[in-house]
Amino acid sequence: MYADLSCSSGRSTERPVLIGIYGGTFDPLHYGHLRVAEELIDTICFDQFFFVPAGEPRLRDSPGASKHHRVRMVSLSIQNNTRFSMDDRETKRSGVSTTVSTLQEYHQEYDGKAVLCFVIGADAFVKIHCWHHWRELFQLCHLIIVERPGCIRVSDSTQLPQKILSECASRWTTDPRDLVRHFSGMIYTADTTLLDISATQIRSLVKTGKSIRYLLPDITLDYIKTHNLYSGKNEFR
């Protein structure tokens, strides 16, 4: 068994490289995402933690802001936090983004020696059986599920689609040490602060001329204003 996973105990040389990957459309990135990431890094001593903006998302309408703007907003939002990094690989790919291909690329780059933890909100998890080659995810990574206000609590829910229930039955854990005891396939339910913030709400507030202050970093707010994003007025996004 590997040593303690918490950051305060220092990194054990016995354990594998642990990578956190937080994928999202990030249209725009907001404090809901940022707070979750900060709390997860306090609980799990990741060697690296990446925000990975999706290029062309598969199961939703086109984003309100272009890839270029979404990447810029992520990068501005995280610029003062040395624990966060951004990986824009999906926005450089042509065609739709699939998480399986991103995870496969990470494994190639780390020579199969890294353990990957993909962070996903409960609202996204309940639709995971619609993702491209979704069962393969469990061979490639662990999932870290963060609950969201207004969404069912996935860890104790029998309301999940049957396909998910049967695939995931033996995978649940609340012990972060399971993330290094196994190479992949665990589903860790994280107890992070529930912040009722969504990108949909932010876009809608901008569109109706209302304030979005305190929902996301000021620097991102300034960027949205400067580039006239989400107002419905900018023709050249």
Ligand X SMILES: Nc1ncnc2c1ncn2[C@@H]1O[C@H](COP(=O)(O)OP(=O)(O)OP(=O)(O)O)[C@@H](O)[C@H]1O
Binding site residues, ligand NCN, CB under 6 A: 23-25, 52, 54, 57-60, 97-100, 124, 131-132
- Contact (CB, 8 A) for 232 and 204: no
Residue 195 binding ligand X, by CB under 6 A: yes
Cis status, amide bond into 28, omega within 30 of 0:
yes
Q: Exactly one of 19, 21, 26, 106 binds ligand X (CB under 6 A); which one?
A: 26
Q: From ligand NCN, ligand X, none, which one binds at residue 197 (CB under 5 to 8 Å depending on kind)? A: ligand X
CB of 10 to ligand X, least distance (A): 29
Shorter beta-carbon distance to ligand X: residue 24 or 217: 24
- Residue 13 makes CB contacts below 8 A (sequence gap 6+) with none
Neighbours of 179 (CB within 10 A): 26
Q: Site mask, ligand X, residues 153-192, x = CB under 6 A?
A: ----------------------------------------
Q: 189 - beta bridge partners?
A: 145
Q: Exactly one of 15, 33, 67, 69 binds ligand X (CB under 6 A); which one?
A: 33
Q: What's the DSSP call for residue 156?
A: G
CB of 187 to ligand NCN, least distance (A): 15
Quick one: tokens of 133?
């080659």
Query: Looking at beta carbons, which residue is closest to ligand X?
Result: 121
Q: Exactly one of 69, 72, 142, 148 binds ligand X (CB under 6 A); which one?
A: 148
Whose structure tokens read 């624990």?
83
Region binding ligand X by CB under 6 A among candidate stretches 10-18, 23-31, 37-45, 161-169: 23-31
Phi/psi of residue 223, nearest 5 degrees: -65, -45
- Per DSSP, the three-state class of 143 is strand
Angle at the Cα of 57 (from 146 to 122), degrees rounded to 5? Answer: 15
Region binding ligand X by CB under 6 A among candidate stretches 18-26, 96-104, 182-190, 207-215: 18-26
Shorter beta-carbon distance to ligand X: residue 15 or 25: 25
Angle at the Cα of 81 (from 14 to 199), degrees rounded to 5? Answer: 110
Q: What's the DSSP call for residue 89?
A: H
Name the residues that contact ligand X, by CB under 6 A: 24-27, 32-33, 36, 120-121, 123-124, 146, 148, 195, 197-200
